[in-house]
A and B are shown apart, each in its own frame.
Chain A
Amino acid sequence: MTDAVTVTDLVVDRGARRVLPGLSCAVPAARVTGLLGPSGSGKSTLMRAVVGVQRIRSGRVTVLGEPAGSPALRSRVGYVTQAPSVYADLTVRENARYFAALYGRGARAADAAIADVGLREAAGQLVGDLSGGQRGRASLACALVGEPELLVLDEPTVGLDPVLRVELWDRFAALAAAGTTLVVSSHVMDEAGRCDRLLLLREGELLSDSTPARLRADTGTDDLEEAFLRLVRARQQEVAA
């Protein structure tokens, strides 16, 4: 299995705080990799580094064989920020068509992306008039529309009802099966089970690089939330010893 993203000794400071103190990890191609950890653990910072908008202190981030953020990657990587970053004063369709144009796609691709996130009925509505969850999906559609090889999604399921959440995770699985690499962050542990690979972050450190099955076996529990807690406690004992 080849890696779509490799991170080597990544150090990132934000203000006076060291957010990532020297992180190394890899993201396998054509899989859904979950980036999990409590808020403030460095998930968003790592994602920003992968898409090339984070100023880094040292270390290396390689994406699809190129340095993160290089111009050649801009049509191959899609990024959805935690807060929906779409134009509130445009309709869903106008937003999707603008981003489609930026990726060299047409109106048909825009309509398909809108249907993919379940917003077909709301396509003509202004984004500013949508609910929080719908806004997030509009933002997602604007990344899907470019059919990128790597999709970086920061907490895409926040504020979604359980049905929609399941549908989106099905959609992520289908994209991975078709060859897209996905990096999805979440602080909801029950979503971890839907990932092919799990990177558990805590205070900027990689606590575990595993799969849901392996994590369950290693920690002796079926509950991934409990597994994470056991890992944290084991790590604390390690540091104390």
Chain B
Amino acid sequence: MTTALSPRLTGATTGRVLRQLRHDPRTIAMLTVLPGLLLGLLYLLWRDVPTPPGQEPVFDRIGLTMLGIFPFVVMFLVTSIAMLRERTSGTLERLLTTPLSRLDLLLGYGTAFGTAAAVQALVTVGLATTLYDLDVAGSLWLVVLIAVVDAVLGVALGLLASAFATSEFQAVQFMPVVVLPQFFLCGLLVPREQMAGWLQAISDVLPLTYAVEALQEVGTSAIATGTMWRDVGIVAGVAVLALSLAAGTLRRRTS
């Protein structure tokens, strides 16, 4: 495995992926505003539901959590399709004959879609805190940071999943396989401490659980907590692990 990283080649690849995006204005528009619009729907859904005294409004909890889930899901899908196209168009085989290392390629994708996710997070957080009255105790910059780390996790898992798909039909079906169990078990639908022990154990090893916990920490604490930083570290660590595994699935020689 070539691990010789070159910031120059990674940067060139990031630029190339972003240029591809630029030629697709509809995708840019959807990436930027769609999560914000969906969040608006959730806001309207709970707006007229009364909050019992002494409890946190439902939308504050769910809306905040969605800020971490949207970028994860969207970037997972976009990346797995982008990488599959790279494989089926022959450009991947060609890239592997150039000085570009496999990690350069994957990090290039991670940085490009991470950048797109940062724009998405800024727009969504902006909408949530102004139009939708989302109340966050901690810093909004931390919310954006967690959203970007979640997006990078989505990119990394998407790159890995694309190795196991040979068609677009298969690739899109990896989305429910990878995303939905994490969504069900992350503690949003049922608090983790109320889950059956074995479900909680599964929840313990799923990265989205920590992303959601990190957001809840920011939502309820005015200052950044140790738990939040630990959670962000775990999510980033899993992203790095998934990227390394994805590099292992990029075979230079095929039959």
Partners in one complex: yes
Smallest CB gap from A77: residue in B: B97
Identify which of A74, A88, A90 contacts B99 (C-beta below 8 A).
A74
Tell me if A55 and B90 are in contact (CB < 8 A): no
The smallest beta-carbon distance between B237 and chain A, in angstroms, is: 28
B8 CB within 8 Å of chain A: yes
Identify which of B4, B12, B23, B100 contacts A89 (C-beta below 8 A).
B23
Identify which of B4, B94, B253 contacts A54 (C-beta below 8 A).
B253
A234 CB within 8 Å of chain B: no
Contacts of B130 in A (CB 8 A): none
Tell me if A81 and B90 are in contact (CB < 8 A): yes
0/1 string, B82-104, CB within 8 A of A gives 1? 00000001110111111110000
Smallest CB gap from B23: residue in A: A89
Q: Given contacts A52-B97, A81-B90, A81-B93, are A89 and B24 in contact (CB under 8 A)?
A: yes
Contacts of B91 in A (CB 8 A): 85-87
Q: Which of A42-100 contact B (CB under 8 A)?
A: 51-56, 69, 71, 74-75, 77, 79, 81, 83-91, 94, 98-99
> With A and B bound together, what is the CA distance between A232 and B90 in angstroms?
33
B interface residues (Cβ-Cβ under 8 A, vs A): 2, 4, 8-9, 12-13, 15-16, 19-20, 23-24, 89-91, 93-100, 252-255
Tell me if A102 and B255 are in contact (CB < 8 A): no
Tell me if B89 and A103 are in contact (CB < 8 A): no
Contacts of B96 in A (CB 8 A): 53
- The 5 A-B residue pairs whose C-beta atoms are closest, nearest first, are A85-B90, A101-B12, A55-B253, A98-B16, A55-B255
A162 CB within 8 Å of chain B: no
Contacts of A101 in B (CB 8 A): 8-9, 12
A220 CB within 8 Å of chain B: no
The smallest beta-carbon distance between B163 and chain A, in angstroms, is: 16
Tell me if B255 and A14 are in contact (CB < 8 A): yes
The smallest beta-carbon distance between A208 and chain B, in angstroms, is: 28
Identify which of A56, A86, A94, A102 contacts B100 (C-beta below 8 A).
A102
